[in-house]
Amino acid sequence: MRQTSMAMALSAFSFLLTVIWGPPLLRVLRSLKIGESIRVDGPDRHFSKLGTPTMGGILIIIPVAFLTVLFNATSFLGWAIFGNSILVPLFVLVLYAAIGAIDDWVGLRGRGRGLRARTKLLLQTIGALGTVIVLRYFLDVPELYLPTLDFEVNLGIIYIPIAMFFIVGFSNAVNITDGLDGLAGLISATAFIAYGGISLMQGQIFLARFCFILTGAIFGFLWFNVHPAELFMGDTGSLALGATLAVVALMTGQWAVLPIVAIIPVSETISVIIQVSFFKLTGGRRVFKMTPLHHHFELSGWSETQVVQRFWLISLVAVIMGIALALV
């Protein structure tokens, strides 16, 4: 109970820090005109969002990094709040945020065109490879737990490419999901709460606290990102959150349920794959009115807030199912 209380308290503290320093960051981004030339994808109604500051992922990253490093330093005084294991997801958070920030910045300078897809994918893959090596050979994390099995499944060397695929895949999946005010933030926060709970049940207290700190920061970001958004997270936030979520799932060994917990990003990605493949195979025909999936529902008559709220409700149900499967 005491450990859970500490995790919740850190989440609240992270939320407050994020909300407090949000307005100064907004002023800086507006003064630098970060967002003046941002390209907005989606239905025509989204053109009203032109000029909204982007790169708002910085608002999430800074408080999480500050709190993690601050409390890690207390171990020198004999008061261990965090363990070295959480430096791995923190590093991934910062690394992928840096990749996203470069992409955002190049896009702003290039009038909507960011890094080349190949370049971004290469950077993500290199980061994923280094992370997986550390997880497997230095932290010795559990490789895989499956529902109904009470033992760890050993995948051998194949674990490395599978884990890399999860990190890169979910990094881009959350990036694809980030198209409506509040959507990617709500989905990500819900998923991190799920894995924070799983970590607590496994006794991975340090990892659980990291998840809840990150959740608090995301909720703080959502203070400025709910409709109508004053700030977009950009690739700076979405790439980082997706990759970090995958790493947290890998550290618990319960990554088999991640596609369920993160059913919305998975569905959004699949919709894009189906649309592009069908378009090429049929010479221009489409399955959806527009992809990613959230735009299809917008063009079907749902308002932006309806899409976000309904997708979040689906995500909540999926999270409950994912946690239940992790406990079986």
List per-residue pLDDT tens for the chain, 328 residues long: 666 777 778 899 999 999 999 999 999 998 887 874 555 566 767 777 777 899 999 999 999 999 988 876 555 445 555 556 789 999 999 999 999 999 999 988 765 567 899 999 999 999 999 999 999 999 989 999 999 888 999 999 999 999 999 999 999 999 999 989 999 999 999 999 999 999 999 989 889 999 999 999 999 999 999 999 999 999 999 999 999 999 999 999 999 999 999 999 999 999 999 999 999 999 999 999 999 999 999 999 999 999 999 999 999 999 999 999 999 8
**CA-CA distance, 127 to 151, in Å (whole number)?**
29
**Spans of all domains in the chain:** 2-255
Residues 6+ apart with CB under 8 A from 48: none
Alpha helices in 37-82 (DSSP H): 57-73
Percentage helix, strand, coil, to 5, in the chain? 75, 0, 25
CA torsion, ordered 177, 179, 181, 182, to nearest 10 deg: 10
CB 249 within 8 A of CB 323: no
Residue 261 exposed, middle or buried by CB count within 10 Å (0-12, 13-18, 19+) = buried
Residues 6+ apart with CB under 8 A from 149: none
326, containing H or E segment:
helix 304-327
